[in-house]
Amino acid sequence: MIDFSVLPWSGYGLVAAAIIAAFVLAELLLAVFDKLLRSLVSRTQTKLDDMLFEASRGSVRLLFVVLAVYLAVGQFLGDPVAFGHPLDFYLLVGVIVAAAHFIASLVNAFLKWSIHEKGYRKDKTAFFPLFRKLVLLFIYVLAFTIILTLFGIEIGPVLASLGIAGLAVALALQSTLSNFFAGVYILVDKPVKVGDYVSIDSESSGVTGFVKEIGWRNTKIQSFGNTVFVLPNDKVANSTIINYSSAKDKGRGVLFDVGVDYSSDADKVERLLREAVKEAAKKNEQIVKDFEPVVRFENFGDSALYFKVIFRVQDYTARWSAEAQVKRRILDLFRKNKVSVPFPIRTVYLKK
């Protein structure tokens, strides 16, 4: 073993040079590792092994550097003791750090592959960034706990302190956590999904529009007027929700009332109303053609007989254009067949 007691700076200079050489050696080993594995993963059709390989390169480099530094320091300084621990101890710490980074990189790559390969919709991946960070945090915290144990540090008091701090943070972030868990409920129970046309009636106000995004804290709804409403998830979860896109049968119902003069023939009016819906369906693809329109006498009004008209559309957002087209056809048929729609009439009796 070389004695550096006379010129200590020269020994440490050699160690520094050896560490630099170790980095170079690690890069060379990584290049060999890269070439061998890349040729293997390129033969498969799945992208998973390619993503895992790319994710593992940094961890493998770190492991090679740790081993190379260990060999370089051990060669020139023997078995030095630092902070009461031998060189082998720090090798173990370095391996634990490299292993934690390796596992975290593989898990991160696998989660990303799952999202892209499965083709999940945006509503199913809204919580992915947060979930990924929590998983990675757990891995690194576990590795840090193991290292603390190796150094002889009691983690019990640390965990107790973290528990108290966590309780304080939970109380401070009560609203945020409420929105977070409400968002989890929305994604799991699926009362609404991204792209659904919904009406949400909360205590403060009502919002109708398309669900554009379900985040970890709020839900965004875009109205037909291109206005985006940002609602806290807990408000959405506790509101009455009408989901017009959730019907599983053929089409969504559209219904409205039509009033005619008291002198009109009820059978004739019903026939004309059915005919109007069927003729409009020939020109509007959104109107469900295999659904027989429902026309029923509804009520005696102050100045008119009221009939209820019910038909279905494929997409509920097309109800306005379909309803307008049906009503225009009703007006044409009424005029053609001399069925009048009366003005409101009031008869006033005067007492003398």
DSSP letters, 179-222, are HHHHHHHHHHH-SS-TT-EEEEE-SS-EEEEEEEEE-SSEEEEE
Residue 329: its pLDDT value, please?
94
How far from 218 is each of 121, 221, 313, 349, CA to CA, in Å?
Answer: 18, 10, 31, 60
Report domain extents, the chain: 8-170, 192-243, 252-336
CB 216 within 8 A of CB 209: no
CB 305 within 8 A of CB 264: yes
**What 3-state DSSP class applies to 300?**
strand
How many angstroms from the chain centroid is the CA of residue 245? 18
Number of neighbouring beta carbons within 10 Å of residue 244: 16
Number of neighbouring beta carbons within 10 Å of residue 22: 21
Distance CA 58, CA 65 (A): 11
Residue 23: its pLDDT value, please?
73
Helix axes 128-150, 155-172, angle to 10 degrees: 150
Q: Which of 127, 231, 222 is nearest to 181 (CA)?
A: 127
Burial, 85: exposed, middle or buried (Cβ in 10 Å; 0-12, 13-18, 19+)? middle
Q: Per residue of the chain (352 residues), what is the pLDDT tens digit? A: 444 444 354 556 666 776 677 677 777 777 777 777 776 666 666 676 667 767 777 777 777 777 777 776 666 666 666 656 677 777 788 888 888 888 888 888 887 777 676 555 555 555 666 677 778 888 888 888 888 887 777 766 666 666 666 666 555 556 666 766 677 777 777 788 888 888 887 555 678 888 988 877 788 899 888 889 888 888 888 888 888 877 656 678 889 999 999 999 999 999 999 999 999 999 888 898 888 999 999 999 888 999 999 999 988 778 889 999 999 999 999 999 999 988 777 767 777 6
Distance CA 326, CA 251 (A): 16
> Which structure tokens are listed for 65?
């550097």
| Domain spanning 252-336, CATH class | alpha beta
List all residues 6 or more positions away from 292 whose beta carbon is below 8 Å from its beta carbon.
none
Distance CA 210, CA 170 (A): 32
How many angstroms from the chain centroid is the CA of residue 294? 40
Kindly report, residue by residue over 167-183, the tens digit of the pLDDT.
Answer: 665 555 566 667 666 77
Residue 5: its pLDDT value, please?
45
* Backbone conformation region of residue 84, classed left if phi is above 0, alpha if psi is from -120 to 50, else beta: left
The DSSP output letter for 74 is H
Burial, 273: exposed, middle or buried (Cβ in 10 Å; 0-12, 13-18, 19+)? buried
Kindly report, residue by residue over 239-249, the tens digit of the pLDDT.
Answer: 888 888 776 56
Q: Can you tell me which residue has the tokens 């609602």?
A: 231
Q: Which of 139, 153, 215, 143 is nearest to 180 (CA)?
A: 215
User: Given CA atoms 227, 232, 233, 235 in this order, what sign does their dihedral have?
Assistant: negative
Q: Give the domain 192-243 fold.
A: SH3 type barrels. (2.30.30)
Number of neighbouring beta carbons within 10 Å of residue 153: 11
Distance CA 288, CA 93 (A): 68
How far from 318 is each of 241, 242, 248, 322, CA to CA, in Å?
Answer: 20, 17, 17, 6
Residue 1: its pLDDT value, please?
40
CB 63 within 8 A of CB 29: no
pTM of the model: 0.51
